[in-house]
Amino acid sequence: MDVKGLLEQVAAGHIPVDEALLKLKAAPFEDLGFAKLDHHRALRQGAAEVIFGQGKTPEQVRDIAAAFYARGQKLVLITRLAEEAAVLVEQSLPLQYDKLSRVGIVGELPEPDGLGKIVIATGGTSDMPVAEEAAQTAQALGNEVTRLYDVGVAGLHRLLAHLDDVMSARVIIAIAGMEGALASVVGGLASCPVIAVPTSVGYGAAFGGLAALLSMLNSCASGVSVVNIDNGFGAGYLASMINHMEGK
């Protein structure tokens, strides 16, 4: 709910006090029986609640998204959205669906209002689904994104060819599987915060991303933080928060 807009309409005499009171009574959440929707998330945290599609039925995803959209949420972000659910959602809502990242966006992307740009770098092409989850999330939250894909340490010159992007970024998301060395390399080059994302890409001893996670946690480069394995959404969200923080 846009509480500020509601109060402005009351002050301007466009909405009676009793009607506004009724709208506020529906806060702070809406109970759908199978889900309790946090309509005040944007007011509290600056970004609306995001739908995690994995584990939900297509009908549940549709109904949750429709409820948010009906209450005036201009953009509804859905992560880990199965293609089957996307087909159902787009029958009744203006859905943009990215098959690679499994991200769905109901509504229109906002104009970028972040203070700088977010650079997203991957070790390999196989890391792109996680990278696109981060990129789609960051764009949905109002950020300019630069993608540097397949610039891993097996061919370091590929990353070095984009030093201008690395040096001018306000936040960098470094995404890699295997041994996860990309985050340390980027952290040693950049002057901005680096968010490392280990992916589950790799052979047996990669242990589904655990090897990359431990490498990134033990990075000797300063300014590197780490999110969970394959958590592109978490990285994109955190990068957006950093990119919207005013400097002192």
Peptide bond between residue 129 and the one before it cis (omega within 30 degrees of 0): no
For 8-61, write each residue's pLDDT tens digit: 888 888 888 877 766 666 567 766 777 777 776 776 777 888 899 999 999 999
Question: CATH 3.40.190.170: does it fit domain 117-243?
Answer: no
Better-predicted residue by pLDDT, 24 or 204? 204
For 144-172, write each residue's pLDDT tens digit: 999 999 999 999 999 999 999 999 999 99
Q: Is the pLDDT of residue 1 over 60?
A: no
Q: How far apart are the first and last CA of the chain?
A: 31
Share above pLDDT 90 across residues of the chain, in percent, rounded to a whole number? 75
Dihedral, CA of residue 35, residue 75, residue 197 and residue 52, to nearest 10: 20
At 247, the pLDDT band (50, 70, 90 cuts) reads low
Q: CA dist 213 to 37, 226, 234, 243, Å?
A: 32, 8, 15, 24
The structural domains of the chain, with segments of one domain joined by +, span: 3-107, 117-243
Residue pair 201/209 in contact (Cβ under 8 Å)? The answer is yes
SS3 content of the chain, % helix, strand, coil (to 5): 45, 20, 40
